[in-house]
């Protein structure tokens, strides 16, 4: 079996039950080579259970394939294609950084040359002889990331990798993620921290929103924001111009909810509509002193998508 296709992962109508309880409910999504997906949801949403299904560690209803290979039939091979970093993983504290890497390389039958390469990739070469128990939280997590990709797998699944790291540790870990993506790997990162999902936008990534075991949204970040029906807020400084005259122009352009607030015109609009507004003002002889755009936050989109009042008709998945 070899990885060839761009589409590495396909999850199709997957359900996982524990008795009558459904930990995962009819989940569907795809993930391609070179993509990063923020698997976003509160604790207990079903993210870890979904990952374990993808690794062939749990029985489930539905279908999961990796490069067209059924997880049920080729679980061992598929686990060899995935670097998995569990949520509560840790190295052996009484062993050195290098010894930890060599130990896991031996277990996996991986050439020892990968240990040296991994030390460089996770930037721990000069700490190779330090006991893992003496590492900072961020360095420990980098070591675990190195262990998870010793076999240089095309897919990485990272379960809450930065939940317990300080700001510096989170920044260093995200920098490593960027380098991994540059190699064309497919990365799934679960998180209940919305600030983590914000960072995925820097990678032009994707969002997979999971709530109560159900995938309520899957697709690009911009699609996610659009489907939540959230808009930009455009703030236009009126300067020496008459605010009432300017806001009338904006309202005449069709933006009836435009308001004046503290010498600023505030307009809710779609991303591309701000140019229409600014041009319309210019055509009427008004040159704004300055303006700024406040984009909608992922927090608002997340709340919109996971609201208890959300109708099932909005539970849609972006198909590729």
141 near 173, Cβ under 8 Å?
yes
Give tens-digit pLDDT for 232-284.
788 988 888 888 898 999 999 999 888 988 888 899 887 778 888 988 988 98
CA atoms within 13 A on the CB side of 123: 11
What is the pTM assigned to this prediction? 0.73
Mean pLDDT, residues 184-203 taken together: 70
Of the candidates 187, 13, 162, the one whose C-alpha atom is nearest the C-alpha of residue 84 is: 187
At residue 155 the predicted structure's pLDDT band, cuts being 50, 70 and 90, is very high
DSSP H or E run through 23 = strand 21-32
Q: Give CA–CA dist 144/122, Å, rounded.
A: 9
What is the reported pLDDT for 203?
A: 59
Name the β-bridge partners of 27: 14
DSSP H or E run through 8 = strand 7-18
Q: Give CA–CA dist 254/1, Å, rounded.
A: 58
Examine the pLDDT at 195 and tell me if it is beyond 70.
Answer: no
Examine the pLDDT at 319 and tell me if it is beyond 50.
Answer: no
Q: Give CA–CA dist 301/292, Å, rounded.
A: 21
% pLDDT > 90, the chain? 38
Least confident of 180-189, 195-204, 237-246, 282-291: 195-204
196 near 88, Cβ under 8 Å?
no
- Kindly report the average pLDDT of the chain as a whole number: 84
Residue 36: how many other CB atoms lie within 10 Å: 23
CA-to-CA separations, 290 to 46, 238, 286, in angstroms, rounded = 46, 8, 12
% pLDDT > 70, the chain? 84
Residue 7: how many other CB atoms lie within 10 Å: 16
Q: Determine the 3-state secondary structure of 229 from DSSP.
A: coil
Higher pLDDT, 203 or 6: 6
Least confident of 27-31, 55-59, 109-113: 109-113
Q: Give CA–CA dist 204/221, Å, rounded.
A: 7
What is the reported pLDDT for 177?
A: 82
What is the reported pLDDT for 193?
A: 62
Chain-centroid distance of CA 29 in Å reads 14
């Amino acid at each position: 079996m070899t990885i060839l296709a761009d589409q590495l992962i396909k999850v199709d109508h997957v359900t996982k039950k524990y008795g009558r309880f459904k930990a995962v409910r009819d989940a569907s999504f795809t993930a391609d080579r070179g993509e990063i997906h923020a698997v976003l949801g509160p604790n207990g949403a079903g993210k870890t259970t979904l990952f374990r299904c993808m690794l062939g560690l749990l029985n489930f209803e539905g279908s999961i394939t990796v490069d067209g290979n059924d997880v049920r039939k080729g679980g061992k091979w598929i686990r060899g294609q995935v670097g998995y970093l569990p949520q509560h993983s840790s190295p052996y504290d009484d062993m050195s950084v290098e010894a930890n890497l060599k130990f896991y390389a031996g277990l996996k039958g991986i050439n020892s040359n990968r240990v040296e390469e991994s030390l460089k990739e996770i930037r721990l070469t000069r700490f190779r002889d330090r006991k893992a128990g003496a590492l900072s939280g961020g360095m420990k997590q980098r070591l675990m990331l190195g262990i998870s990709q010793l076999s240089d797998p095309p897919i990485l699944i990272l379960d809450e990798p930065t939940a317990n790291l300080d700001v510096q540790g989170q920044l260093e870990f995200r920098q490593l993620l960027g380098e991994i993506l540059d190699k064309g790997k497919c990365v799934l990162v679960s998180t209940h921290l919305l600030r983590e999902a914000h960072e995925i936008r820097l990678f032009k990534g994707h969002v997979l929103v999971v709530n109560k075991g159900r995938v309520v949204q899957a697709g690009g970040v911009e699609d996610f924001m659009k489907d939540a029906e959230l808009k930009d807020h455009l703030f236009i400084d009126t300067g020496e111009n008459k605010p009432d005259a300017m806001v009338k122009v904006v309202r005449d352009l069709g933006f009836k909810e435009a308001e004046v607030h503290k010498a600023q015109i505030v307009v809710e609009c779609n991303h591309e509509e701000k140019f229409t507004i600014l041009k319309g003002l210019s055509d009427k002889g008004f040159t704004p002193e300055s303006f700024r755009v406040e984009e909608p936050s992922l927090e608002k989109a997340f709340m919109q998508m996971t609201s208890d009042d959300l109708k099932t008709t909005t539970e849609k998945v972006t198909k590729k």
